[in-house]
Structure 1
Amino acid sequence: MTAPRAWLIWTIGVASYLVAVTQRTSFGVVGLEATERFNASASAISFFTVLQLLVYAGLQIPVGVLVDRFGSRLMIASGAVLMGAGQLQLAFAENIPGGVLGRVLVGAGDAMTFISVIRLIPLWFAPARVPLITQLTGMSGQLGQLISVIPFALVLHSLGWSPAFLMLAGMSGMAAVLVVVLLKDMPPGTVRAESVQGLRATGASLKRAWSQPGTRLGMWSHFTIQFSGTVFAMTWGYPFLISGQGLEAGVVAMLMALFVGTGIVVGPFIGRFVSRHPLRRSTMVLLIAAATAAAWATVLLIPGRAPLWMLVGLVIVMAIGGPGSMIGFDFARTFNPAHRLGTATGIVNVGGFCAALICIFLVGLVLDLLYSTGYSNGVLYGLEPFRIALSAQFLLLGFGAFAILASRRKVRRQMAAQGVTVPPLLKTLAARRRARVESRRAGNGPGSKPR
């Protein structure tokens, strides 16, 4: 295996994932246009994304099993074809059923992409580099949000609905060709592990992945800190900022760009933290969850519209949740063997997108209820209705934090049984300080006491 070849394979995988993220988030930009094109209510528009995410989440575990069996190349190429077909369908859809069919195809193709790209990393890179490369993968792919916010939105507003979605279909076609021609599943000379055969053996592998507490800890970590940014980017962020907060479209585009840019900048730092402090991963997740809850509470409780600097802070905190949620995949990698990694990664990836689809649906439902009862004063996407509807996030954040704590206790009991102890953070820091002091007094330089 040569380093240049590994980076080439990774670049192709990331490019495919970038295209998938563009397809995934494109509907978040067209919420207002879709309401007019399909003559739809808020809950109907949210249903587009809910069903897309439902398909995505529902396929994660089957896709994980399939990628373990057939490899990443076939799955990524198939996903690109499905997404292209979905955007082609949406380009000419003029009613809700036609639009829903397009988003279902996009969700199915998107479901095949990320897990398949993540599975390439341990095969092409050394284990010590996997956490950082995983973070770089997730954050580089998120550049697709910028494509949906800027070039796609520009084409949409200048040329119209159909040309904009045809552009997205063309991007998926190019990704499919690139993968088929250049992508390889594993380095030359690597022996492929025996694939699982039969439904019974597949079910047993799935059961073993789920029964591993580390897999469930990864899933709940992903559930808790990934969904808020997904809800914001895919559906309700654009209407909230435009109609609720009264911002201009250009300012909203800048905030969305900040969302992506922050994740790209923060991702490598989280990757290094995970590599150096593997026993503090869940603590990092809980801190990000607390920061997300505090940021949303501040914006939603302040009288009147929030100042721009406060919205900037909210966007930055939500953006940190993206790379933070990648810690869940590191839990899957740590606690599962390589031949079960796709299955375990699929289980983890279900978490955040299940939370996102629940939240998107709840927000749309509450907005419609407030509108129908007259609370909204005839404004569907008003600030006051959004205050109530977006508060649904706190329920999911609280539930996720509780599930993380419960799963972490089981993981720590398992680790203790294997001879690995996880002392409280303050005790650990104090021990390290004492070790450094004693080392300096002895004249031996920095201590290297194992953890």
Structure 2
Amino acid sequence: MSAPARRRSAVLVFAVALSAYVAAVFHRSSLGVTGVDAADRFHINAATLATFSVAQLAVYAAMQVPVGVLLDRFGSRRLLITGGALMVAGQLCFALVTDVRLAIAARVLVGLGDATTFISVLRIITFWFPGRRNPMLVQLTGTLGQLGAVLGAVPLVALLHHAGWTPAFLTAAALGATALTTVAAAVRDTPHREHAAAPAPDSATVRRQLAAAWAQPGTRLGLWTHFVTQFSGSVFALLWGYPFLVQGQGMAPTAAASLLTLMTLAGLVAGPVVAQLCARHPYHRSALVLGVTAASAVVWTVVLAWPGRAPGWLLVVLVLVLAVNGPGSAIGFDYARTFNPASRIGSATGIVNVGGFVASIVLMLAVGVVLDLATPAGRSAPDLAAFRWAFAAQYALWALGAVQVLRYRNAARRLLHAAAAPAQPQPAPPPALARPAA
């Protein structure tokens, strides 16, 4: 294949794989703006509503390491097709059922399919594009993927209120089926015609592969980077932001959905900026991570401490700051790529991807429990005071994540300095350690 033809093929394969991730984000976020309607449809309280998203994200997080191993074995195309089919099945089920247990099972199917998608796209980037383009393309994937959240905000709310629950989620399933068809037609794992599938690894090989990825301090730095930067924006967008804006701040549903859309669009701008900063200052990526974390904590402090309902301009500032959470969390995947060879990039990326979703699960469930405890007796919906107590749970997660980022940043730097020291003979470091990584 000539170089121009390969570049065209790479762009096509990446674009189609990216469309699969856009669809996955749409499926993932479709509950976020329909939470109030879901509570009415299934006759559930805030804590039970939280279990819908918790079940979805718990499966997503639990599957990241197994999916990483499967990705190294079977390649991106098969996992994207399998994941797309699972998400379509989940949305079909969610459209039709009225039983709470079946609805939770539907969200589990969505979580299973979603778990295969993002890291499959990252593996395509690794095999189809030169390494120097990886940081920008990873950020581009994470950023453009959030267009799925745009589709899952105002258009889905409008369709839901105009046509009803079942037609809205049947439409969601149809969009997923379209993305699945294009993946099956266009995506290949590598630029080579033949996919050199690795032999099926035995359990000992899998354990060694995972242990090697985990042993790299940069992998754990990536995990805690993902943990500390993602959860606040993710929980706001996926479930509790819309009820907070509508029930706590008294906004109209369309205005609240528009703020969530603004958050997504701001992320489209923030992603390339974060990627450029990482490319120009690779040794200071952790400073950027801590800056994103601090900005999120500060703006939430102002919003939660504001007497009465926050003014509109402050809520705009809140969503603009939270928009940087997603691009900030993608720095964790750059750490995984830096510290691990391509042969175990799926396993390392899966480990990193666990971090933010574990934190999101904890916060999502905590907010639901606190809302139920803090809502005055006799009220059908939580008030602003209840939301203030609920979102205060974020501070414990920020503190834990920041401490761990500092811990593993220092460990990663010590490893790099030891590998570069000329006075002491050392085994040759992996190629990925050849440049600053923390």
Give me the TM-score of the superposition, normalised by structure 2.
Answer: 0.93
**8 Å contact from structure 1 (residues 79, 113) kept in 2:** yes
Instruction: State which of 286, 296, 306 in structure 2 corresponds to 1:302.
Output: 306
1:283 paired to 2:283? no
Inter-partner Cα distance in structure 2 for 1:379 and 1:96: 19
Q: Which moved further from structure 2: 376-385 or 303-312?
A: 376-385
Matched, 1:388 2:389: yes
How much does 1:152 deviate?
1.5
Unaligned runs of 5+ in 2: 423-438
Which residue is 2:83 aligned to?
Answer: 79
SS in 2 for 1:243: helix
Q: Secondary structure at the match of 2:293?
A: helix
8 A contact 2:73–2:197 mirrored in 1: no
Counterpart for residue 219 of structure 1: 223
Cα distance per residue 1:16-55 (max 9 Å; x no partner):
0000000000001111111111110100000000011000
SS at match of 1:223: helix
Deviation at 1:420, TM superposition (A): 7.2
Tell me the residue number matched to 2:406. 405
Q: Structure 1 unaligned segments of length 5 or more: list them.
A: 422-451
The answer on 1:37 being equivalent to 2:38 is no
Q: CA deviation at 1:191?
A: 7.3
Kept in 2: contact 1:55–1:104 (CA 8 A)? yes
Q: What is the alpha-carbon distance in structure 1 between the residues aligned to residue 216 and residue 421 of structure 2? A: 16
Q: Give how far 1:302 is off.
A: 0.8
Q: Match for 1:387: what amino acid?
A: R
Task: Give, as a single letter, the amino acid of the residue that structure 1 aligns with 2:341.
Answer: P
Q: CA RMSD in A?
A: 1.4
1:381 Cα deviation after fit: 2.1
Change beyond 3 A, Cα 1:393–1:186? same
Corresponding residue of 2:432: none
Match of 2:431 in 1: none
Q: 1:382/1:49 Cα in 2 relative to 1: closer, same or farther (>3 Å)?
A: same
2:179 is aligned with 1:178 = no
Aligned to 1:449: none
Distance 1:369 1:213 in 2: 40
State the partner residue of 1:353.
357
Alpha-carbon shift at residue 275 of structure 1 (Å): 1.2
Letter in 2 for 1:38: F
1: distance between equivalents of 2:378 and 2:233? 28
User: Which string of whole-angstrom CA distances, capped at 9 and with x for unpartnered residues, describes residues 215-257 of structure 1?
Assistant: 0000000000111111001110000000100111222122111
The whole-number CA distance in structure 1 between the counterparts of 2:186 and 2:18 is 13
Q: Given the superposition, is the C-alpha separation of residues 56 and 335 from structure 1 closer, same or farther in structure 2, using an over 3 Å criterion?
A: same
CA contact (8 A) 2:56 2:107 kept: yes
Q: Tell me, yes or no, if structure 1 residue 245 matches structure 2 residue 222.
A: no
Is 1:416 the counterpart of 2:420? The answer is no
Show the counterpart of 2:428. none
1:127-206 correspondence runs (5 A): 127-188=131-192, 192=196, 194-195=198-199, 197-206=201-210
Task: State the alpha-carbon separation in 2 of the partners of residues 49 and 41 from structure 1.
Answer: 14
| Alpha-carbon distance, 1:196 to partner | 5.7
1:16 and 2:17 equivalent?
Answer: no
Work out whether residues 247 and 381 of structure 2, in 8 Å CA contact, stay in contact via their aligned partners in 1: no
Shift in CA distance, 190/81, structure 1 to aligned 2, threshold 3 Å: closer
Between the aligned partners of 2:313 and 2:126, the Cα distance in structure 1 is 40
Q: Paired residue for 2:52, among 40, 48, 67? A: 48
Is the 1:220–1:400 contact (alpha carbons within 8 Å) kept by the matching residues of 2?
yes
Q: Alignment identity in percent?
A: 46
CA contact (8 A) 1:152 1:164 kept: yes
Contact in 2 for aligned 1:368/1:380 (Cα 8 Å): no
Q: CA deviation at 1:322?
A: 0.7
2:95 to 91, 110, 116: 91
Alpha-carbon offset, residue 377 of structure 1:
6.3
Structure 2 CA distance, aligned partners of 1:149 and 1:32? 13
Question: Contact between 1:136 and 1:268, CA under 8 Å: does it hold in 2?
Answer: yes
Task: Work out whether residues 193 and 339 of structure 1, in 8 Å CA contact, stay in contact via their aligned partners in 2.
Answer: no
Count of aligned pairs between the two proteins: 418
Given residue 411 of structure 1, which amino acid in structure 2 is its aligned partner? A
